[in-house]
A and B are shown apart, each in its own frame.
Chain A
Amino acid sequence: MTEDRKIKIIVAKPGLDGHDRGAKLLARIFAEAGMEVVYTGLRQTPEMIVETALQEDADVVGLSSLSGVHMYFFPRVVELLREKGLDDVLVVGGGIIPKEDIPELKKAGVAEIFGPGTPTAEIVAFIKNNVRTRD
């Protein structure tokens, strides 16, 4: 039963930028990899993303940011997840993220950052290898 358990992933666009091509493409790639993908649409606040993860019992939250808000939004999502007791939810990020920001994001609890050009198979493999085993 655990073996064929579906991975549920939230693909969310925090902040105000309207560029969702990447996020939509990733949603399809995750579905193609057999995951159940909840796509939230644009302009999500960290609170909305975490509430969605809570109601959907998501295993993974994937955040995409192209507008430079990642240093606030990504750690905030992690923090709120912890507040709700969802500390086993894997948080990954992507988009336009300067390399020098990555260590701090990881320190804040973002598991991995995938920049433009990352082979999608790599992202999928990372998620499959690091997703929680649900009790």
Chain B
Amino acid sequence: MRDYAKEVLEGSVRAAARLISWLEDEDPRALEHMERLYAHTGRAYVMGITGSPGAGKSTLTDKVTFALRKKGLTVGIVAVDPSSPFTGGAVLGDRVRMSRLTMDPGVFMRSMATRGFLGGLAKATGEVVKVLDALGKDVILIETVGVGQDEVDVIRLADTTCLVLVPGLGDTIQSMKAGVMEIADVFVINKADRPGADQLYAEVTTRVEQDASIRERAWTPPVMRTVAVDDEGIGDLVEAVEAHRKFLEESGALEEKRRRRAREETLQLIHGELYRRIRDRLTANGELDALVEAIVQRRESPYRAMQHVVARWMRE
């Protein structure tokens, strides 16, 4: 078997690409390699780019990557698009806007389908970020699916989350709601040359001011204007992200963020493995079928079944 972990650390695109496929497929072979890569992760800075469909996330990702490359930084991109809930298939179209990055050896880009995972990312996105980190990329950009109001998983992976907004999608009340509006470390008003951009800018700025008066916060999200297709405002946006990074590093918030991430991730891994093991055993010995039958006939309740299964597992 090939030593993918070693090859990834040596910079092999092929090895990274295959390992990512295994992670997407939840192939157990990935585990051993991830275990060895883990010590080499945590170096990259992770940026999330999220926003509604058509807000310009892909174009922004392209321009920001280009700007980072000019600064001599290498970039990993994970672009997530939705899977069909009916067929499981997906059209992953983010590369269309990033064609010019394809031949740049300092950029690795991977398209991912959500495969039924809600929250704006794919289940394996966090693992893919680690592979790109171990591959030596300085900055990793996660482009989420087009989000609505409640798909906020990206903040669990990103050090800095940029929320991309565009004029014409709603009035003040939209900017008052909870959810996605709360997660921005940096607001980006894209298509800022369009009618309504000034109004949107004013609304978002007002929201940010209100936030500050409701509760004191250590970081005030800046509101940036961009016209991504024309490459306008990108330099300022990159600077705003750098300022946020500096704030996180100096205030100790980055360490805190990453500690919280490690905690969640560890619990999630344990959860996943326990679930898999118990499910496999219950299915293999036919116990699950028997339980389901009893539950359907109301001879057993799912609550009691759960307690029994867990209690027995704890004893063993």
Contact = CB atoms under 8 A, between A and B. Distances in A.
A and B held together in a complex: yes
Contact of B21 (A51, A52, A134): A134
Interface in B93-116: 93, 95-97, 99, 102-103, 108-111, 113, 115
Given A31-B87, A44-B99, A55 B110 contact: yes
B110 A6 contact: no
Contacts of A56: 17, 110-111
Say which size band chain A's interface belongs to: 20 to 34
Contacts of A74: none
B255 interface: no
Interface residues of B, number: 31
A41 B89 contact: no
Contact of B18 (A5, A31, A57): A57
Interface string A18-51: 0000000001101111111111110110011001
Nearest to B28: A1
A1 B93 CA distance: 26
B84 A52 contact: no
Interface in B45-66: none
Contacts of B103: 47-48, 51
A84 interface: yes
Interface in B72-105: 83-84, 87-93, 95-97, 99, 102-103
A85 interface: yes
Interface of B: 13-14, 17-18, 20-21, 24-27, 83-84, 87-93, 95-97, 99, 102-103, 108-111, 113, 115
Contacts of A43: 99
Given A48-B102, A51-B103, A52-B102, A39 B14 contact: no
Contacts of B27: 1
Given A33-B89, A43-B99, 16 more contacts: A1-B25, A6-B88, A6-B115, A32-B89, A34-B89, A35-B89, A36-B111, A37-B89, A39-B92, A39-B93, A40-B99, A51-B102, A52-B95, A54-B17, A55-B17, A84-B14
Nearest to A39: B93
Given A51-B103, A55-B13, A57-B17, A39 B96 contact: yes
Interface-centre pick from A6, A33, A35 (highest chain B CB count, 10 A): A6
Nearest to A54: B13
A31 B91 contact: yes
A25 to B, nearest CB: 11
Contacts of B26: 1
A37 B102 contact: no
Contact of A36 (B18, B89, B97, B102): B89
